[in-house]
Chains A and B, each alone.
Chain A
Amino acid sequence: MANGTTVTVDDLVAWVHRFSEVITEHADELTQLDSAIGDADHGTNMRRGCRAAVDALAAAEPGDITGFGRAIAMKVISTVGGASGPLYGSFFLALGTTGGSASEMDAAGTVAALKAGVEAIRTRGKAEPGDKTMLDALLPAIAAMEGSLDNGGSLADALQAGTTAAEEGMRATIPMLARKGRASYLGERSIGHQDPGATSSWLLVRSAAETLAA
């Protein structure tokens, strides 16, 4: 288990387990949000992908951070589908690559790995802040984590700050005009709806806070 200062591969696996649980709990809500401005499948797809990722990790038994990232990324990419598959898959792949062949990361290393994951989402999806996407929850979360560490916070503090920022970022998508993905077809009609991708991203950060520095 985490002692609050380092994150092990087991902690990362526990994070994915927790993420899968909360995605399953929130699947109907995610699909509901997606039916308002997308194609009503985000909850279903994420639930299927997370369950497969949990199974893949059990089978792969990764020994280092890179192995963890690779095992989950390929599974997420091949089971989630839609845009979310490549985006979340790229997140885990980059997170693992940045974590490297070590079997644990310190607080700064963990935030750096999470940041690399978020940058990979940005590169793959070519979205910018304010486009009403996952990034509107994830970018503020990373900034808050970095700020917390800079102010001498622990990893637990940083992840908590990240969760709060992700939630605020998620809510901030409500008045935004969508500029990426299917929601962009709605134009003005996308205003007033919370972005489903930002919502699952908030759950991803919240699950991290619950497991990586617990």
Chain B
Amino acid sequence: MKKLINATDDVVVEALQGMEHAHPSLKVVYEPKYVVRGDAPVSGKVGIISGGGSGHEPMHGGFVGMGMLDAACPGEVFTSPTPDQMLEATKAVDGGAGVLHIVKNYTGDVLNFEMAAELAAADDIDVEAVVIDDDVAVQDSSFTAGRRGVGATVLAEKICGAAAEAGRDLAAVKELCERVNANGRSMGMALTSCTVPAAGKPTFELGDDEMEIGIGIHGEPGRERRPVATAAEVAKMLVDPILTDLPYAEGEKALVFVNSMGGTPLIELYIIYNEVAKILAEHGIEVARNLIGPYITSLEMQGCSVTLLKLDDEMTELWDAPVNTPGLRWGA
């Protein structure tokens, strides 16, 4: 294992210390761990919290700031954070208008956020939770943990953050979050595995000439393993299942999010984006907005994911609203 670290046990804390130095507008609390807006709680504003295992940077800590998250709870690498973190973060951002928990659908995240919500309720804080489950690679059935939460999480955090900033109430922000989830679909792929620092070895083995289609952001296996293909073929393998799952009528608008798993460079993301745009054009889908880059990563994994969000005017307007976070910034 080759990594720029000091000690495997110190990875999460030292990365937080770096963030704290780099972004004075944020406050980092270490016991228990969470990253919070320096001006929290914002009086009268719905607070928005997310959290999850570390290793997906900039998600979630990099999305804390004006117009997006109020706080983020980082767990160990690929491990859910714990209810004590979520409870303290919830208290820290409660400006009197309640707090929304945006939870990615993984068993650990869901169980820990459930416990945190129970604890917060006992402290008389109004908490609502929305579970994001946009990964079409997983067959949605009662016989699995359900679809994983992936790319749509970033879009939900941005859009809901803007709504909260605009003064909408908790019920409205929650409804919007559910709407983003209902209209967002993602599919990912990997060219290489990644190595969790504490494990020291690649999470899975993938041959030099193989790729995994439908990979999860923790290296969970996907739908199938197959020989590497061209960017055009890969784009089709990612977009087709999305459009099968959530068909678009001609002329409908989409936000296209092409995400790097961490190890894939921007030059390749643009090639994929180009192919995705061609496919969408064939279907008569208008690409109204896009986001291209590493936003929800899986350590150093090479690969990408594509998320399509079917946009309405309200979501588009909130997407365009100012945001000022380490990981996403415009208009501010």
B76 adjacent to A86 (CB under 8 Å): no
Tell me the number of A-to-B contacts counted with CB atoms below 8 Å.
Answer: 104
A86 adjacent to B219 (CB under 8 Å): no
Could you tell me the distance in whole angstroms from the C-beta of A194 to the nearest C-beta in chain B?
17
Q: A204 CA to B245 CA in the complex, in Å?
A: 43
The yes or no answer to A77 lying at the interface (CB within 8 A) is yes
What chain A residues lie within 8 Å of B310 (beta carbons)?
Answer: none
For the residues of B in contact with A, the DSSP-based class is loop
Could you tell me the distance in whole angstroms from the C-beta of B315 to the nearest C-beta in chain A?
28
In the complex with contacts A39-B203, A186-B220, A179-B115 CB distance below 8 A: no
In the complex with contacts A79-B82, A181-B107, A184-B145, A86-B112 CB distance below 8 A: yes
In residues 148-182 of chain B, which contact A (Cβ within 8 Å)?
148
B84 adjacent to A78 (CB under 8 Å): yes
What chain B residues lie within 8 Å of A179 (beta carbons)?
Answer: 143-144
Interface residues of A, count at CB 8 A: 32
Which of A45, A85, A179 has the most CB atoms of chain B within a 10 A radius of its CB?
A: A85
- B220 and chain A: residue at smallest CB distance: A185
Interface size class of B (residues with CB under 8 A): 35 or more
Q: A40 CA to B53 CA in the complex, in Å?
A: 13
- A86 and chain B: residue at smallest CB distance: B111
B196 adjacent to A81 (CB under 8 Å): no
The yes or no answer to B218 lying at the interface (CB within 8 A) is yes
Q: A44 CA to B8 CA in the complex, in Å?
A: 11
- A131 and chain B: residue at smallest CB distance: B143
In the complex with contacts A78-B83, A78-B84, A79-B82, A41-B76 CB distance below 8 A: yes
In the complex with contacts A39-B220, A41-B199, A189-B221, A82-B143 CB distance below 8 A: no
What chain A residues lie within 8 Å of B79 (beta carbons)?
Answer: 39, 41, 45, 81-82
- B216 and chain A: residue at smallest CB distance: A185
8 nearest A-B pairs in the assembled complex, by CB-CB distance: A184-B144, A82-B108, A83-B108, A81-B79, A86-B111, A83-B107, A39-B218, A78-B84
**Which residues does A use to contact B, with CB under 8 Å?**
31, 35, 39-41, 44-45, 48, 74, 77-87, 124-125, 177, 179-182, 184-187, 189
19 additional A-B residue pairs with CB within 8 Å, beyond A39-B219, A85-B108: A39-B79, A39-B203, A39-B218, A39-B220, A40-B78, A40-B199, A45-B79, A81-B76, A81-B108, A82-B80, A83-B107, A85-B111, A86-B111, A87-B111, A181-B145, A182-B107, A182-B220, A184-B145, A189-B221
